[in-house]
Amino acid sequence: MYDFIGKTFPRHDGVAKATGLVEFTFDIEIPDMLYGRIFKSPYAFAKVRRIDTSLAESLGAVVLTPDSVPDRLFNPRLVSIEEDTFKDWRVLTYTPRYLGEPIAAVAAPSEDLAQRALEALKVEFEEVYEPILDPFKAMAPGARPIHERIVRGRTWVEVRNNVAAELRYSEGDVELEERRSDVVIERRFHVPRRYHVQLEPKGAVCKPEPDGSITVWTTTQTIHNTKILISQVYGIPMSRVNVKKVPIGGGFGSSIHTNLVTLIAVGLCLKSGRPVKLVLTREEDMVHDHVSFEFYMRIRAGATKDGTITFGEFENILDIGAHQVQAYPLLGTALGWFVSLYRWRAVRYYGRSVYTNKVPSCAIRGYGAPEVTWAVETVVDEMAEELGIDPLEFRLRNYRGRGEIFWGQGPTVKSVIRSDGVPELIARGSELIGWRNRGDPRSKTGRYRRGIGVGRGFHTSGAGGPLSGAIIDYSGAIVKVNEDGTVDYITALQDHGGGTLDAHAKIIAEELKIPPSKVRIVWSDTATTVYDVCTHASRGVYVGGEAARRAAAEVRRKVLEYAARILDAVNPEALRVEYDRELDDAVIYVEGAPDRRVTLSEVARIAWQRNWGSISASVSYRATAAPPSFTVYFVEVEVDTETGIVRPVRVVAGADAGTVINPELAAGQLHGGFAMGWSWAVGDEVSYTEDGVPAHRLSVADYKIPTALDLPKPEEFVVLFASTYEPTGPFGAKGLGEAASNPVIAAVANAIYNAIGIRFYEIPITPERVLEALRERG
């Protein structure tokens, strides 16, 4: 039984956030600061002849052009090993490849002056090309190359047919398995680009220090990779770049890489020698900065009469936009999601990432898993129906569970599944939603039709594994005991809001048997922390939390050594530690002689007074697995066959996250994960005109984000946690953030099918599409 794990404590930063006193990047002000603005390309594909900066400079602005930054290609995401990193970005460019690509930047003492200087820049274009917006046109013979050469690792490589990266994989005999199959289904799926709608637009502040170093505050999911990239791009030693951790107003993958705005702010700061703040407007953030990947998928799969899945073939074309953030690794993870969902006896995969003249794509929550899971779960549902097998039974027979090899994060990150709550979640969830009574779509009539659907999926907990692989994945933690027995926890790991760091505080508290309120989570920076790769891949609790636990365990050993001296015990093994509710502290006592006792606070004080030294530990931890957190969603929807509007009626969200550390915050991940998945299923879409101009209006209003009226009410949403324990996780915990949204589109689409008998192979399933499909069917 735990003292703190699994219990509810108000989050450490909650009051500061609710009252608005927490400072986000947007809120940071430094005396004598300049304000930056970016000159963004008005064309989606063009070549700049010259930039006349004289007028802007005469206004008193500092101007940055492509000539004033190092001409060094980079990839803003530093997570793959260097050999697998494709570099095609510049801080500023004379060859803009998407509408909004930064060409120049200005900084001035006021926002107004910066804006005037921006308008005073004269950028003359040598050529404006017709933009290539469609990946299939981009690959067609004769298409203009968007990039001619890029750098892979440290080597120049030619780009052919605008194909940015490619991955092929096969296992087993697909043809043989297809011949053995009694049912074969082939479908094509399309997922558009979507915008993250993180509530805080991106920004950065860069300050020169008297010792010649710089300090950077910025919207990021990784301070250390930001430090490394700034160092690489500008050729500054890493010891002269300090990146401060700032709260982030929503991540969801949008700041999984180092944002261009950060590098431009650094450039302006270095040139001006003054602090510079550069923040994006919502319009800039939404239209010019980032979107998610667009998927064109083809899946062909088979099964035998007895309900065994035989083979799966998967073709995956990604429209990545004008630059690579993680185009190559996504080809690997998309395959990983596919392979790890079910026990295909044979697999064939072909993945291609294709350049187009659109805003570069980056990860969005799930990194391809929601999209692939939707496609696979649709095909699996169809196969089950064709075979006359209950879709739940069909899934239970074929999914990859305990004891099997699993490689969600791609072919180089394999590990064995050790905990699996799928059977429990399917059993309990189906009961709660009333699966047996969901009815046949053919028997449903009337204007409003209800349907129940299931989606099963997972996400990895991090990207660790027994072998080093192609992905960098480890975390650091420093735990030190103050002289009064309180604890400082110092980590670079970013908490996007899910409560990751509160989980860490509880893990440390549990290990030391002190209350979480005695653990301070220090707002740190790269100079005072050890490396943490990034908060992504749902790794915060599983990897970062285990690093914290190990550091705390080392601290506990030292505390016991000191306590043994104080208590005159023969050695620390003779001691026991307990949380004492009355003293609100850890009490260390001699087993069998409980009156020989000392509190952790006393140990800390005595160690200080007697010059024994500080009690602290620093840990760098790599996980040897990336266990799947399974999720099973049951969703009931109601389709209005006159308007085409789909409404959520009830949701049962089941998650196997191992031991649940923060129950109310973990439930919040499922609420939010559903909301985002629902939004993808029925609303989110970014589209472009033929000129490469974003056609979605530049407002949150026109990009339909669900409000409280569009989503289930508390009484319509049930959260289930499986009673599992992951032996490799801190106190048995796994990840959750992305698993929470991965199967949602699938469950919603399957529910819509159960309501009206129509399958959709393109999302979002908008009212227009529903009406059109109903009309076509007649």
The answer to the question of residue 496 lying near another protein (CB under 8 A) is yes
Q: Of 262-281, which residues contact another protein (CB under 8 A)?
A: 281
Q: Which is nearer to another protein, 108 or 322 (CB)?
A: 108
Of residues 715, 775, 777, 778, which one binds another protein by CB under 8 A?
715
The interface with another protein within residues 137-176 (CB under 8 A) comprises: none
CB of 496 to another protein, least distance (A): 6
10 Å Cβ neighbour count for 613?
Answer: 10
Give the interface segment with another protein, choosing from 207-215, 472-480, 661-669, 762-770 (CB under 8 A): 661-669
Under the binding rule (CB under 8 A), the answer on residue 517 touching another protein is: no
Residue of the chain from 83, 148, 404, 664 that contacts another protein (CB under 8 A):
664
499 binds another protein (CB under 8 A): yes
| Residue 479 Cβ vs another protein, minimum distance, rounded to whole Å | 25
Contact residue for another protein among 250, 434, 439, 683 (CB under 8 A): 250
DSSP string, 574-643: GEEEEEETTTTEEEEEETTEEEEEEEHHHHHHHHHHTT---EEEEEEE--S--PEEEEEEEEEEEEETTT
* Minimal distance, residue 700 CB to another protein, in Å: 4
| Residue closer to another protein (CB basis): 25 or 356 | 25
> Which residue in the set 2, 3, 26, 647 belongs to the binding site for another protein (CB under 8 A)?
26
Q: Which residues lie below 8 Å from residue 468, measured CB to CB, with a gap of 6+?
A: none
Q: Which stretch binds another protein (CB under 8 A): 77-85, 464-472, 614-622, 706-714?
A: 706-714
23 near another protein (CB under 8 A) = yes
Q: Does 31 contact another protein by CB under 8 A?
A: no
Of 177-185, 307-315, 478-486, 660-668, the segment contacting another protein by CB under 8 A is 660-668
Per the DSSP assignment, residues forming a β-bridge with 169 are 349
CA-nearest of 235, 479, 217, 289 to 226 is 217
Contact pick of 298, 576, 671, 759 for another protein (by CB under 8 A):
671
Name the CA dihedral angle for 769, 772, 773, 778, rounded to a multiple of 10 degrees: 160
CA 751 from chain center: how many Å? 26
Under rule CB under 8 A, which residues in 348-367 are in contact with another protein? none
Q: Is 708 in the site for another protein (CB under 8 A)?
A: yes
Spatial contact of 313 and 301, defined as CB atoms under 8 Å apart:
yes
27 binds another protein (CB under 8 A): yes
Q: Does 24 bind another protein (CB under 8 A)?
A: yes
How many other β-carbons are positioned within 10 Å of the β-carbon of residue 693?
14
Among 84, 88, 177, 200, the residue binding another protein under the rule CB under 8 A is: 200
Q: Is residue 647 involved in binding another protein (CB under 8 A)?
A: no
- Which of 569, 558, 560 minimizes the C-alpha distance to 594? 569
Closest CA to 258 of 228, 213, 214: 228
CB neighbours (10 Å) of residue 351?
24
Of 699, 727, 762, 772, which one interacts with another protein (CB under 8 A)? 699
Residue/partner pairs of 149-158 with CB below 8 Å, 24 or more apart: 150/73, 150/86, 150/87, 150/88, 150/324, 151/73, 151/86, 151/87, 151/88, 152/83, 152/84, 152/85, 152/86, 152/87, 153/82, 153/83, 153/84, 153/85, 154/82
| Contact by Cβ (8 Å): 367, 335 | no
Q: Is 104 in the site for another protein (CB under 8 A)?
A: no
- Pick between residue 502 and residue 602 the one whose CB is nearest to another protein: 502
Q: How far apart are CA 245 and CA 242, in angstroms?
A: 10
Q: Which is nearer to another protein, 664 or 762 (CB)?
A: 664
Nearest approach, Cβ of residue 197 and another protein (Å): 5
The alpha carbon torsion through 536, 541, 544, 548 (nearest 10 deg) reads: 170
Q: What is the DSSP string of 693-753?
A: -B-S-SSTTTTT---TTTS--GGGEEEEE-----TTSGGGB---TTTTTTTHHHHHHHHHH
Closest separation in Å from C-beta 253 to another protein: 12
Query: Which residue in 155, 306, 445, 701 binds another protein (CB under 8 A)?
Result: 701
Give the C-alpha separation, 742 to 55, whole Å: 51
Task: Write a three-state SS string for 263-311.
Answer: HHHHHHHHHHCCCEEEECCHHHHHHHHCEECEEEEEEEEEECCCCCEEE
Q: Specify the residue, 365 or 414, whose C-beta has the smaller distance to another protein.
A: 365
When asked if residue 83 is in the footprint of another protein (CB under 8 A), the reply is no
At position 583, the amino acid (one-letter code) is L
13 lies in the site for another protein, by CB under 8 A: yes
Provide, rounded to whole angstroms, the least separation between the CB of residue 513 and another protein: 25
Nearest to 39 by CA among 26, 53, 54: 53
Task: Please select the residue that binds another protein; options are 235, 714, 775, 777, rule is CB under 8 A.
Answer: 714
Rounded CA separation 626/411 (Å) = 13
Q: Considering only 69-77, 370-378, 663-671, 688-696, which stretch makes contact with another protein by CB under 8 A?
A: 663-671
Residue of 1, 19, 775, 778 interacting with another protein (CB under 8 A): 19
CB of 717 to another protein, least distance (A): 6
User: Does position 21 bind another protein by CB under 8 A?
Assistant: yes
Compute the least distance from the CB of residue 279 to another protein, in Å: 8
* Residue 36 touching another protein (CB under 8 A): no
> Among the residues of 389-532, which ranges form H helices?
391-398, 422-433, 500-512
Instruction: For residue 738, state whether it binds another protein (rule: CB under 8 A).
Output: no
Q: Which is nearer to another protein, 21 or 467 (CB)?
A: 21
**Residue range at the interface with another protein (CB under 8 A); choices 249-257, 268-276, 294-302, 442-450:** 249-257
497 binds another protein (CB under 8 A): yes
H/E segment holding residue 679: helix 663-682
DSSP string for 52-102: E-HHHHHTT-EEE-GGGS----B-S---B-GGG-EE-B-SS-SS--STT-E
The verdict on 119 binding another protein (CB under 8 A) reads: no
What does the alpha-carbon distance between residue 116 and residue 433 come to, in Å, rounded to a whole number? 59
Nearer to another protein, 90 or 504 (CB): 504
Closest CA relative to residue 301, chosen from 377, 397, 352: 377
* Residue ranges that bind another protein, judged by CB under 8 A: 8, 10-11, 13-24, 26-27, 29, 111, 196-201, 247-252, 281-283, 496-499, 662, 664-665, 667-668, 671-676, 699-701, 705, 707-709, 711-715, 717
